[in-house]
Amino acid sequence: MAESDRSYIKSVNLGEKVVANRLRGYLPSRILYFLLNLHTVRRDIYLTRHGESVYNLENRIGSDPPLSERGFEYARALARFFEGPKQPNVYTSTRQRTIQTAAFLGVEPEPLGALDEIDAGLCEGLTYEEIADRFPAEAAARAADKLGYRYPQGESYVDVIRRLEPAIIEIERQTEDVLVIGHQAINRALYGYFLEKPTTRIPHLDMPLHTVVRLRPDGYGWLEDRFPLL
């Protein structure tokens, strides 16, 4: 069979040149799209959760609450952390607590719906204690399989990982430093992707509030630094 008759993708010098031939189907087209956005330019990726929200004070999940006073304090500390002539490209979710966290950076953030927190469906705005009281079967199912569990009329971690694909490609294609101001589930999934963590570990990764996680390229992987700001 001649090469021209085969289905293939050829990448030369990691994105300097990409050749595609006879591609058919969804998966090959997604692989091609991914390869077209890869490059070898070194840049840092920063992950941080939004500052403390009023719901964090009450241990409530989801919804769209504003920052607490301490959350705004973190937003100012974050701006001081990134002071300097070189500002990162900033991405937030569409939730106000992430946008408020970016308010003092002096950079216009780009809100991405793909970075919105996991949708808790009927459990939005509840505490885990309230969920256990109102939906005991749901609480038990979540405890048994945090990765695969889907909130009623909401999402699972697996759903979140899948919908993050366009955001990941957007981050991958950047040649400047990137700051993602996200949410706990979102940043767990992004961290797991870049650090190549097993999918089963993603729901359990440590992503505390008021901490900047810096990922630095190192050969074929990433090195991690953490900076608690409050």
Give catalytic residues, as residue numbers.
49-50, 56, 97, 117, 183
Alpha carbon separation from 210 to 48, 112, 175, 176 (Å, rounded): 7, 21, 26, 23
Side chain identity, residue 201: R
Residue that the structure tokens 């900047």 belong to: 212
> Tell me, what DSSP letter sits at residue 152?
T
Quick one: tokens of 143?
């405890």
d(CA 22, CA 226): 45
Phi, psi of 204 (to 5 degrees): -115, 5
101 — alpha (psi -120 to 50), left (phi > 0) or beta?
Answer: alpha
Contact 13, 188 (CB under 8 A): no
